[in-house]
Chains A and B, each alone.
Chain A
Amino acid sequence: MRVRPFTPSREGAAALAARTVGRDDLLATLTRRLAGAARSGNRPHTLLVGPRGSGKTHLIEVLLHRLREEPGLVVAKVDEDAVGVASYADLLAELGRSVEVGRVAGDAASWEAALAASLGGRVLLAVIENLARVFDGMGTGGQRDLRSLVETSGQVVILASTPQLFSGIGSRNEPWFGSFAVEHLDPLTVDECAELLGLLAGAGLARPPRVAALHHLVGGWPRLWALVAAVATPADLDELVPVVEALVEQFVPSFQQRLWALAPNEARLVQALGVGPPAATVAELAAAAGLTERTAATALGRLADGGWVRGDKRAGADQRRTWYRLREPLLRLHLQYRGGSSLQEAVGYVRAWFDPALPLPAVAADREPELAVVALTERPRPA
């Protein structure tokens, strides 16, 4: 099976459907919802939310494949790599070209008329990936125009995706406030990752203790596991370090670009979370990053909005305190790896933690806090 982890749209929907794991309920819900839109006057807009690699494009391709026999729907797509959508008219042009409406004068009203004429009473399913970027390009005026088209025509339903929630849908002053059914894509569970690995590379690769350890280290986003299937041999997976390093290497350019785009204070906090204890309070992070608590709290708020960090309360602890951690486990490994630290110790410890047949290695005292995160999970017992 030829897997394209970064470009699932080139794989073919049937192949994607065959290796879809952990999304059955969501797919069933969305299929029912959009088929219902084709057969009634309801137009429930849907927004899929999940970070890069969470399988949004994959899910959309499989969903559209399921809906291909639905005669009441006309599908128009704005691809995730679409560039140059700087106005409402640009968006309509992208949608219009997708359904081949022919030559149209450049203004929005002409595109609207051409799209309406192409529908012939059917419903336009507008698939817009990276909605935040598209909305940002169109501005509030363009978003209003799109909303009023949807409301006036009654013939448009939107299926969109975004890496994270954004103010264009969450602020009451914005035209699309509260207009989407928001569906969060969750990471795959350990069992689902094992199933995916088995589908992609055969059962020999999917040894439960190693899958559990790797899941702990890198998380459960499907793209990572598709890459694991592509790069790992059974021996590598048994060792674990080669697989983790290969994944980290693969994402170096992506993480670099994203980190460089951060404001300096935010970058320092991310760095502190990457190389220090895996979860820390505002005060601890402020001290580690050399910031005032007020500055750190503001920057952490922005990082949370941007999907970089997550704040949690701890049961039994002071509920006014929040412990922050990086949302992407792989980013933490990236920061350690690029900072010159060996991944051997941390990976080796996690590997042993999830394999009761292995003894737990001794750990230097100054590494204990970092490795303590493993202890948040229950160590499997020997069979």
Chain B
Amino acid sequence: MTAPWPIQANLGGPVDPADHVGHGDQFAQVVRSVGGVGALVTGDRRMGKTSLLRKVEHVLSPEHVVLRISAETDDPELFGRRLVDVLRGHGVFTEELARWSVEVDVGYRGVRIRREGGVAGGEAPQGTDDLFRWAAERAAPAKLVVILDEIAVLAMAIERRQAGGAVEFLRSLRRPRQEAVNLAMVLAGSVGLHHAVVDTTPVNDLQRVRVGPLAAADAAFLARCLLLGENLAVSDDEAVVAAMAEAADAVPYFLHHIAHAAQLRGGRPLSPADVWAIRHAALVDPDDPWNLRHYRDRLRDYYGPDADLAAHVLDAVAVADTPLDLSQLGSRLGAVELDVRPSRSALLALVERLEADHYLARTGPADTFATRLVRDAWRAMRRL
């Protein structure tokens, strides 16, 4: 068994692949998917998706040609220029890119590369190709693995320029991975693709990998690493580690926050009670240091006219002792004043959206909050 190593609290910046603890199953799923056409990695912000992708890049790079690029931009042209820079970083493309003046067009037709004016002169202009198909041909026989993080942001930017452009763009990404046997794509994002496109069939060939909280043992291991990294003395090693994992709901981001807050408080050794006090203080702090208030504030953006109903659904689930099925939820909503009472189908659709947006998690036919931490934060924010 690996011994814990020191990891300093990192509250949001990129994480060293060597310091990514846990998510072993998800990592294996993504790596396996690369043997086919790839994966769609989803999960709420701060669950560790991006650092998982870095680890995937790190592990696959010796054997495959891996292009990893963040698509979190409203500017498709800038994305195209960055893509060329990333390509230039790989030897298999260097010579080709040096021969031509290259332009990359990113839009609803996909990611297109056009090569003109061969540097040696006298070479006929080349046509416009799909960039990923072109890159896969040059990478062969190696596999080309394209990792596009925060893909929904770029898709929404394309949609704003051209109605229906987002779904066309996603289709354009699908075509080359269906045609080129040595091309796989890993698409990822915290903003669900359902916010960019209604029709998600263009990504239904990708294996879905959901990144959520860590397994309990991994959370405990990360807690130990953070205690070492922050030089924190503890009253009782086992109890403090267990308290950290439980208080953070095994979410890496909150584990890092607990370690950071513990380091700031200084003084006597950290006890389990201190851990819970740190958690409670974060939930009621008006400065919202754990960034939990967004779970309430984003409802209007996400659900528009259904925002109030969504809030009532979450209220009901937050105060329930057990998971609620649709009938139970409907009867709880019966006591709430609503302009329009939702039909069963409408309520089901809303619950599914709340699951997709990481508020709720389904257990059999019933739902509960995805994490206890979000439930407790919801209770605190809504004064329930």
In the bound complex, residues from chain B placing their C-beta under 8 Å from that of A184 are 287
Tell whether, in the assembled complex, residue B11 and residue A180 are in contact, meaning their CB atoms are under 8 Å apart. Answer: yes
The B-contacting residues of A in range 23-55, CB under 8 angstroms, are 25, 29, 32-33, 36-37, 40-45
Min distance, Cβ B366 to any Cβ of chain A, angstroms: 27
The answer for the CA separation of A72 and B137 in the assembled complex, in Å, is: 37
Interface size of A by Cβ–Cβ distance < 8 Å? 45
CB < 8 Å neighbour of B298 from A40, A112, A158, A172: A172
User: CB-CB < 8 A to B264: which residues of A?
Assistant: 29
**Chain A stretch 60-114: residues in CB contact (< 8 A) with chain B:** 108-109, 112-113
B109 at the interface (CB under 8 A from A): no
Task: Render B294-314 as a binary contact track against A, CB cut-off 8 A, 1 for contact.
Answer: 110110010000000000000
Please report the C-alpha to C-alpha distance between residue A177 and residue B44 in the assembled complex, in whole angstroms. 12
- Is A259 on the interface with B (CB-CB < 8 A)? no
Does any Cβ of A come within 8 Å of B54's Cβ? yes
List the A side residues contacting B15 at CB < 8 Å: 41-42
**Considering the complex, which residues of chain B in the window 229-284 have a beta carbon less than 8 Å from any beta carbon of chain A?**
253, 260, 263-264, 266
Partner of A172, one of B69, B78, B291: B291
At the interface with chain B, which of A147-155, A338-346, A368-376? Answer: A147-155
B8 within 8 A of A: yes
B16 touches A152 (CB 8 A): no
Q: Is the CB of A141 within 8 A of B72?
A: no
Q: A178-B11, A180-B12, A182-B289 are in contact. Are A41 and B17 (CB under 8 A)?
A: yes
Task: Kindly provide the distance from the CB of B340 to the nearest chain A CB, expressed in whole angstroms.
Answer: 27
Nearest opposing residue in chain B for A45, CB measure: B13
With both beta carbons as reference points, the residue of chain A lying nearest to B287 in the complex is identified as A165
Number of B residues near A (Cβ < 8 Å) is 50
Contact B266 A25 (CB under 8 A): yes
Residues of B within 8 A of A109 (CB): 77-78, 81-82, 85
Instruction: Please report the C-alpha to C-alpha distance between residue A181 and residue B50 in the assembled complex, in whole angstroms.
Output: 17
Contact of A144 among B73, B266, B288, B297 (CB under 8 A): B73
**B contact residues around A144 at 8 Å (CB):** 72-74, 153
B82 touches A152 (CB 8 A): yes
Assuming the contacts A141-B74, A170-B291, asked whether A40 and B16 have C-beta atoms less than 8 A apart, the reply is: yes
Q: Which B residues touch A171, using CB under 8 A?
A: 294, 297
Q: Are B14 and A151 in contact (CB under 8 A)?
A: yes
Most A CB within 10 A of own CB, among B75, B149, B264: B75
Q: Which residues of B contact A145 (CB under 8 A)?
A: 73-75, 78
In the complex with contacts A172-B45, A177-B45, A41-B301 CB distance below 8 A:
no
CB within 8 Å of B: which residues of A?
A: 25, 29, 32-33, 36-37, 40-45, 108-109, 112-113, 116, 140-141, 144-145, 147-152, 154, 157-158, 165, 170-173, 175, 177-182, 184, 304, 311
Chain B residues near A (Cβ < 8 Å) = 8-19, 45-46, 50, 54, 68-75, 77-79, 81-82, 85-86, 149-150, 153, 253, 260, 263-264, 266, 286-289, 291, 293-295, 297-298, 301
Can you pick out 19 interface pairs between chain A and chain B where the beta carbons lie within 8 Å of each other? A41-B54, A42-B13, A42-B14, A112-B81, A116-B85, A141-B74, A145-B74, A149-B70, A150-B14, A152-B68, A157-B13, A170-B293, A172-B298, A177-B291, A178-B45, A181-B9, A181-B11, A182-B287, A311-B286
Assuming A109-B85, A179-B11, what are 17 further A-B pairs, CB within 8 angstroms? A29-B263, A41-B16, A41-B18, A44-B12, A109-B77, A116-B85, A148-B69, A151-B50, A151-B70, A151-B149, A152-B68, A158-B13, A178-B45, A178-B46, A178-B253, A181-B9, A181-B12
